[in-house]
Structure 1
Amino acid sequence: MPYLLRTSRIFAWFMLTGLSIGIIVASSLYLYLRPNLPPVHQLMDVKLQTPLRVYSNDNKLIAEFGEKRREPVTIEEVPQLQLQAFLAAEDSRFFDHFGVDIMGLARAAFELVSTGSIQSGGSTITMQVAKNYFLTRDQTFIRKFSEILLALQIERQLDKNTIFELYLNKIYLGNRAYGLAAAARVYYDKPVNELSLAQMAMIAGLPKAPSAYNPLANSDRALKRRDWILGRMKELGYISEDAWLLAIQAPITASYNTREMEVDADYVAEMARSEMVRRFGEDAYTDGYTVTLTVDSKKQQTATTALRNGLEAYDRRHGFRGAIGSFDVGGMTEEQLSGQMRNYVPVESLIPAVVTGIDDEAGTTRVHLRDLGPAAMPFSTMKWAKRHRTENLTGPAPEKPSDVVSKGDVVYVKVMDTPVAGNDEGGKPSNQERLQVALAQVPRVEGALISLDAQTGAIEALSGGYSFNQSKYNRASQAERQPGSNFKPFLYLSALANGKTPATVYNDAPIVFDDSELETAWRPQNASGQFYGPTTLREGLYRSRNLISIRLLRDLGPETTLDYLKQLKIPTDKMPKDLSLALGSGQLTPMELARGIAVIANGGYDVQPYLINTIKESDGTVVYEAPETILCDDNCEDLAENRNKAQIDSEALPETKGMALPASADDSDTPRIMRRLADERAVYILHSMMRDVIERGTGRRALALNRSDIAGKTGTTNQQKDTWFSGFNHDLATTVWVGFDQPAPLGRGEYGASTALPIWIDYMKVALEGTEPKTMPRPNGIVSIRIDPETGERARPGSDNGVFELFRTEQAPAPLPPENHNDNGASEEPDDLSRQIF
């Protein structure tokens, strides 16, 4: 007995000593760690790393930027069964413990001893919140003790539902999915409230080890983990026996789902991304901002498609440049072919394919597509493929498939909608129905399309090239090119503002300029190479007569015209100060040109292009909203002050190189006041002249739109290096440019009317669909007078060739004097014209 008593005392002393040491160590650690622990209230201020999302103005997803996929949800949005699945997997006593579950730790230890692995884990949900929000993942005792201390603090200051919600939104669930909602999208492409019980259990099994229990990476282990969780849910009374039995029999249905972009608008997405980074720095990628743009999804998709189709059409006209690669396909299986094709990258809708067989007699080529397998390419889709030699020269038209491709050639193709029966190696029909594809190639030519709301400056659609993935260079806002004849509307508007009329006559005749600085004399010509004699300004514009424009500029003076361009806020720093200005030899970006055309379209008011409508934080708080645009004639400062107690002068805004975006979130309450820059009567007359470009001139193809409110101008530079079309109605202005990135001739017969105008038509056909004709209202002080188109004077009564022309009232031609008849009955004509035509 004394021995037992003595032993008990020794054991008690050891226990007491150990407990004391433990208390001392714990207290020391607490005193050491406590000052460095973050305050719990920071949890409520933590911004989950949610990606930046960019939407069109009709709420279609354009782009998503950020490494982590996350869609925050509230606990009320999560089904009860999903919550119970996480409780069963991670912390079934969550609503009973105080942050640290002693029973759970004991159970985990028992599982480790009895099975060699831990199924449910020892960390509570609260401890995981502490770790995920505040701590590292280092496997150290100090980190674990900090986790426990933080969990205790969190439990004292936050309610259980708030802690659970923080957990559901923070946990990593594999494949870049952070949080429950993101995982539901990534694995099942569903919102959380549409998951089945089996799917809920599968997701609930991921927090323990997202890679080890991932259904995409390790389906067997994921299935065992899912079924164990379902069993726990049954044991805990969360689900019935029947529900459990049905769920464990469910197959694995997980697949990798990326969030599909709903609008093909990479160039505008990049413009929005760069602006957000400029505003918010790297936080733009993680703070969950939502950006809504001005672009309309239907117009934007049409713009992207129209530009690509137009560039491909030009490329086909100039022949096939041959295969992009080749390899020996003899004896290769489909699996081997697929592996080899991984070396070739798709470009937008163009897919690389290798030729596996050619049947000239049947007119069919067999190909194997990257990712899609076998397909048939009919010869009818290859007839365009004359061999490219130069931009002006192609080879003869092919007569059979082997004239175009050889076995083993790798080419680009486009998948067509209609499948056709395939052939086997012997030419016999196979049982497998194959895809039908068309021969294609990636265009070398590039282009841009910009469409602006002429009344506000909002960018309705923009495409900066054939493929953003191929080239990030945004030609719409960055490419400085010569506008050619697309510049002429500004020259003619300057003339109308400086006393000229549509009836002013100039002589379309040869002209030679000698300049000591030039090696040879300058002999400008019309595109046709012909000369047409006395011509009114109206006809000179709609027929795009170069010599009329040069004589007009000489009459006005280059300095006068440049000053007028500055009045219109068109950049002049890269404009020549000589007569070549008349032919558009300066440089403008497509955006700058489109902005100038929008000024004409809206009746002469200033326009500042902008892209962003609203910026919202992750909680929906609006941090920026595009200001209202006000078109103003007089008393603009008073108008702004009355509207928002703020004065603004649009002339104080800097000249933009591309587009104007708001400088800060503080300017959204200030209205954007747009002053009148051009005389409305001159602009109205110019509209009439530019409608003739469509009805009678170089833009006649646009008559296909069957609209009476369309006006525009083609543009082609010297040697056809740049081709343009700009057109508008009163509300919408659109500019299209086509050319090579490194300026080079596009080839004979390639003009603005053949390259840019078809793209413009394809876009405007959709952009104006369902809208009523919209023309500029006729201002006061405009008269319509019948004139002689050969002289520009009033037409004599009874003359056969008289046409009606528009004039400002004070510029109307003077009435003709009564006719004086000589003895022979012939009338005497005035000795000279009232205008100098040479």
Structure 2
Amino acid sequence: MQIKQKTLDIKVLVIPQFVLSWLFFCGFFICFVPVIIYVANEIEKTLPDVANLFHHRPAQPLRIYAASEELLAEYGEERREIVSIREFPRALKNAIISIEDAKFYHHRGVDYSGVFRAVVRNIASQENSQGASTITMQVARNMFLSKEKSYIRKIAEIMLAFKIEALFSKDQILEIYVNEIFLGERSYGFAAAASTYFNKSLSELSISESAVLAGLPKAPSAFNPVANYQRAMIRKNYILERMKELNYLNQEEFLQAISEEVKITKRANTRDSSVQFAVEEARKMIYEHYGESTYKEGFDVELTIDTRLQKAAHTELRDGLMRLQKIRGWEGVEGRFNVEEKVLDKKNIEKFLINFPDSGVLKAAVITEVLPNGIVKAMFRNGEVITLFSESGAYSVLELTKSSISRKRRIEKGTVVRVKQHAQNKWVLSQKPHMEGAMIAMDMQSGNILAMTGGFDFSLNNFNHVTQAQRQTGSTFKPFVYGAAIEKGFFPGFIVDDTRRVVKPAQRGSASWAPRNYANNYEGDITIRRAFIRSKNVATVNVMEAAGEDYVRNKALSFGFIPDFHPPGLPLALGAGLTSPMHLTQAFSVFGNNGAMVSPILIKSIRQRNGDLLYKAPDVSVRHQVISERNAFIVDSLLRDVVRSGTARQALRLGREDVAGKTGTSNRSKDLWFSGYAGGIAATTWIGYDDPKSLGAVTGGTIALPVWIKFMEQALSGRPEIQVTVPPEVSLIGGDYIYTEFLEKRTCSNSMSNYVRSPYSCDIK
């Protein structure tokens, strides 16, 4: 039996697609929008006040300039130059907008289509890399948020962008952006980047160069034109195409820009080696006053330094130290490359010489070959191979390669040596000086420091010997002894005994003291003037003893010498005390300044980059009278005679009548000095080991004085001679000067000490 089934006719309900979409959207809206609102409200509570941007002051570096307004140095983590948007070049502005935010002037902080595309791409790639940040959003992120990539941060970025757009105009937002964005090489903002990569101001940039800079914000390292030139050029071309698409460039401008060869010209290193001691001294002075703000407030500091004289001081001091080192002889190689384990090639030598930096004209090199015929070859860190020319004397390569030479001193394959280029372009052996030095020059009227070189090489030893070194003054202290004695009535024409004697007999616990003259040369009875210009030690001790030890010391201390460094006693007469080259220069200037002391000035002015003047040094330094004009006049006459016929006769080559100064050599030639003045410039040269020891059979006159002369040859160019007149209280009698009132007192031989006497008879009228 067949059973007949009944078929049911069921009609399927068909819902239109738009209805389904609408239902899905409503469900999504109902479920997720409250969540989004809640999250947004929570984020809102943590957002900073964007109104703070009105008061934002970007960190700007400290810049130090010479008196000629030449930039000497820049300090600060962020290199930045603030530029008003009104001064911003149109081409660069268009390039930035073309690549970073083409709709910048049309949206209200957020490009919704860009955000949507970024979200879709991030979901598809399961990453969080697509930013879609407008310029306003970048400002929000750079100024207020971290670099973390998350949706929460992106929401915060969008919310801040809305707030910024509500408070600031588009140009204000763009101005913040172009001055704050990091563009590599410590450069923040496009003005700094233009200087860093092209050594140009913004107004000097070409369209093509502008496109290079506009390509940096996305990835400053990847598109750095120094490190990745080809990649930077590809991005530059893409930006130029975008500018053309957006009608910022016409066809002719585009073709010209795309065909231009972009040359990267990095800004020169502002740390000129010749000025580093002066610059560092100024930096420390500013930091003591302003602390960490020194590197953030955009201070422009003008120094009194004359760059021409600074370079001269730097060069002459270095040359003098190298000459002295050559006199001292060859002291051995600096290091040894292990030729048994490594190949002497460019890569290995470059790596090895990292610990042997070049120093000016002195280049480090590794000996690569010593041939039987006497030819010696060496390689620089850049792979260049040179042949050493053998000079005669201490630096004879032929002598120093002999097997009989001790290994410490022997030049052989793998040894590290210093070489410099000879006048005939030949490379010769040299040596880094083991001793140090200082050179300081000051304008005697204004107190302006014109040059300051505190050592051979700041990068090797940054101890500033001009200001920090306290060294025995030797005979440069004698002017202060004789000046005090003159005040006591012991004038240059008086007679002093220059016979060697025991000044201090031996006592229990101490040896006797019998000062000696240089080269054991004694002259018996001589005038005080001759004793001074010939730098006689015994006679000087006798003069100090006659005038009174305490009296002379107290008079000397009035020049500002530190009491603890100048203990009482007759050895003080011979420069047993300690002082710095800076202070000795200041003290010497008193004799050429009518008895007045001026305070040295290094910093001329401090301004903020907005132009506000924070400090200005006086046009003429603070002066105070240390000694009388007549006392200064007579001591000045003694110092001039040192040059005319004394220990500084070499200085006659300057061809001037106003050159005055004093040589100085401390005990066992541990310190070599010359301090003096001419043409209104006071200057001092000092040379010695940091750990005091003998420099050998040399004196201040043979080593320090030539450095001083060569510097002054350049410093005195164009300066008139200083004329002096005899003060009214000074009389000339017997061919020398005396205070007029002493004639009335009839100072004569029976009123003097055992070792100093007047040459005038007691019935003098």
Q: Is the TM-score greater than 0.5?
A: yes
1:303 to 282, 303, 313: 313
Say if 2:486 is the partner of 1:496.
Answer: yes
1:214/1:73 Cα in 2 relative to 1: closer, same or farther (>3 Å)?
Answer: same
TM-score normalized with structure 1 length: 0.81
Deviations 1:681-719, CA, capped at 9 Å, x for gaps: 010111111100000000111111111111000111111
Say if 2:357 is the partner of 1:345.
Answer: yes
* Offset, 1:236: 0.6
2:742 partner letter = Q
CA distance in 2, matches of 1:339, 1:242: 49
1:731/1:23 Cα in 2 relative to 1: closer, same or farther (>3 Å)?
Answer: farther
Local SS of the residue matching 2:563: coil
CA distance in 2, matches of 1:810, 1:364: 75
1:625 partner letter = K
2:507 to 508, 516, 519: 516
Deviates more, 1:690-699 or 1:367-376: 367-376
Deviations 1:416-447, CA, capped at 9 Å, x for gaps: 5655xxxxxxxxxxxxxxxx423211100111
Give the 5 Å matches for 1:377-526.
377-380=388-391, 383-385=393-395, 405-416=411-422, 419=425, 436-512=426-502, 513-516=504-507, 519-526=510-517
Deviates more, 1:805-814 or 1:540-549: 805-814
CA distance in 1, matches of 2:68, 2:317: 22
1:148 to 158, 169, 178: 158
Instruction: State the aligned residue count.
Output: 737
* Offset, 1:386: 6.1
Local SS of the residue matching 2:519: coil
- The answer on whether the counterparts of 2:273 and 2:458 sit within 8 Å (CA) in structure 1 is no
Deviations 1:195-240, CA, capped at 9 Å, x for gaps: 3333222221111111223333444443332222122111111112
1:237/1:2 Cα in 2 relative to 1: closer, same or farther (>3 Å)?
Answer: farther
2:237 to 223, 227, 236: 227
CA distance in 2, matches of 1:58, 1:687: 32
Query: What's 2:330 paired with?
Result: 320
Query: What's 2:212 paired with?
Result: 202
Say if 2:707 is the partner of 1:762.
Answer: no
1:493 partner letter = G
Query: What's 2:531 paired with?
Result: 540
Give the 5 Å matches for 1:147-226.
147-226=157-236
CA distance in 1, matches of 2:267, 2:359: 21
CA distance in 1, matches of 2:376, 2:750: 70
* Offset, 1:191: 2.5
Give the 5 Å matches for 1:76-87.
76-87=86-97
CA distance in 2, matches of 1:238, 1:111: 29
Deviations 1:3-58, CA, capped at 9 Å, x for gaps: 56698667545534544565544544454344543333432432322221111111
- The answer on whether the counterparts of 2:401 and 2:412 sit within 8 Å (CA) in structure 1 is no
CA distance in 2, matches of 1:518, 1:755: 37
Query: What's 1:373 paired with?
Result: 384
Query: What's 2:758 paired with?
Result: none
Local SS of the residue matching 1:290: strand
Query: What's 1:124 paired with?
Result: 134
1:238/1:6 Cα in 2 relative to 1: closer, same or farther (>3 Å)?
Answer: closer
* Offset, 1:738: 0.8
Deviations 1:291-320, CA, capped at 9 Å, x for gaps: 111211111111111111111110011111
CA distance in 1, matches of 2:417, 2:82: 45
CA distance in 2, matches of 1:48, 1:414: 45
Query: What's 2:656 paired with?
Result: 707
* Offset, 1:120: 9.7
CA distance in 1, matches of 2:684, 2:356: 34
1:3/1:122 Cα in 2 relative to 1: closer, same or farther (>3 Å)?
Answer: farther
Local SS of the residue matching 2:187: coil
- The answer on whether the counterparts of 2:346 and 2:383 sit within 8 Å (CA) in structure 1 is no
- The answer on whether the counterparts of 2:490 and 2:547 sit within 8 Å (CA) in structure 1 is no
- The answer on whether the counterparts of 1:216 and 1:255 sit within 8 Å (CA) in structure 2 is no
- The answer on whether the counterparts of 1:108 and 1:121 sit within 8 Å (CA) in structure 2 is yes
1:21/1:212 Cα in 2 relative to 1: closer, same or farther (>3 Å)?
Answer: farther
Deviations 1:132-178, CA, capped at 9 Å, x for gaps: 12222121333222222222222222222222121111111122222
Local SS of the residue matching 1:746: coil
Query: What's 1:739 paired with?
Result: 688
- The answer on whether the counterparts of 1:506 and 1:836 sit within 8 Å (CA) in structure 2 is no
* Offset, 1:251: 5.0
Query: What's 1:430 paired with?
Result: none
* Offset, 1:835: 4.2
Matched-pair identity in % = 34
Local SS of the residue matching 1:63: strand
1:17/1:777 Cα in 2 relative to 1: closer, same or farther (>3 Å)?
Answer: farther
CA distance in 1, matches of 2:690, 2:343: 42
1:118/1:197 Cα in 2 relative to 1: closer, same or farther (>3 Å)?
Answer: farther
- The answer on whether the counterparts of 1:453 and 1:460 sit within 8 Å (CA) in structure 2 is yes
Deviations 1:517-555, CA, capped at 9 Å, x for gaps: 553211111112021111111111111011111011111
1:708/1:23 Cα in 2 relative to 1: closer, same or farther (>3 Å)?
Answer: farther
Query: What's 1:56 paired with?
Result: 66
Query: What's 2:572 paired with?
Result: 581
CA distance in 1, matches of 2:683, 2:572: 23
- The answer on whether the counterparts of 2:589 and 2:682 sit within 8 Å (CA) in structure 1 is yes
CA distance in 1, matches of 2:125, 2:725: 85
2:670 to 721, 724, 740: 721
CA distance in 2, matches of 1:82, 1:270: 37
Query: What's 2:762 paired with?
Result: none
1:13/1:270 Cα in 2 relative to 1: closer, same or farther (>3 Å)?
Answer: same
Query: What's 2:288 paired with?
Result: 278
- The answer on whether the counterparts of 1:52 and 1:66 sit within 8 Å (CA) in structure 2 is yes
* Offset, 1:607: 2.4
- The answer on whether the counterparts of 2:122 and 2:130 sit within 8 Å (CA) in structure 1 is no
Say if 2:740 is the partner of 1:809.
Answer: yes
CA distance in 2, matches of 1:571, 1:815: 37
- What is the Cα-based RMSD across aligned positions, in Å? 3.2
1:407 partner letter = K
- The answer on whether the counterparts of 1:53 and 1:291 sit within 8 Å (CA) in structure 2 is yes
* Offset, 1:121: 5.4
CA distance in 2, matches of 1:568, 1:118: 72
Query: What's 1:42 paired with?
Result: 52
1:321/1:145 Cα in 2 relative to 1: closer, same or farther (>3 Å)?
Answer: same
Query: What's 2:3 paired with?
Result: none
- The answer on whether the counterparts of 1:730 and 1:774 sit within 8 Å (CA) in structure 2 is yes
- The answer on whether the counterparts of 2:595 and 2:627 sit within 8 Å (CA) in structure 1 is yes
- The answer on whether the counterparts of 2:585 and 2:676 sit within 8 Å (CA) in structure 1 is no
Query: What's 2:543 paired with?
Result: 552
Local SS of the residue matching 2:597: coil
Local SS of the residue matching 1:478: coil
CA distance in 1, matches of 2:424, 2:149: 59
1:378/1:472 Cα in 2 relative to 1: closer, same or farther (>3 Å)?
Answer: same
* Offset, 1:88: 1.0
CA distance in 2, matches of 1:120, 1:780: 89
CA distance in 1, matches of 2:129, 2:45: 35
1:598 partner letter = S
- The answer on whether the counterparts of 2:390 and 2:396 sit within 8 Å (CA) in structure 1 is no
Local SS of the residue matching 2:93: helix
Query: What's 1:660 paired with?
Result: none
Deviations 1:77-111, CA, capped at 9 Å, x for gaps: 43211111111110011111111122333455678
1:699 partner letter = A
- The answer on whether the counterparts of 2:273 and 2:457 sit within 8 Å (CA) in structure 1 is no
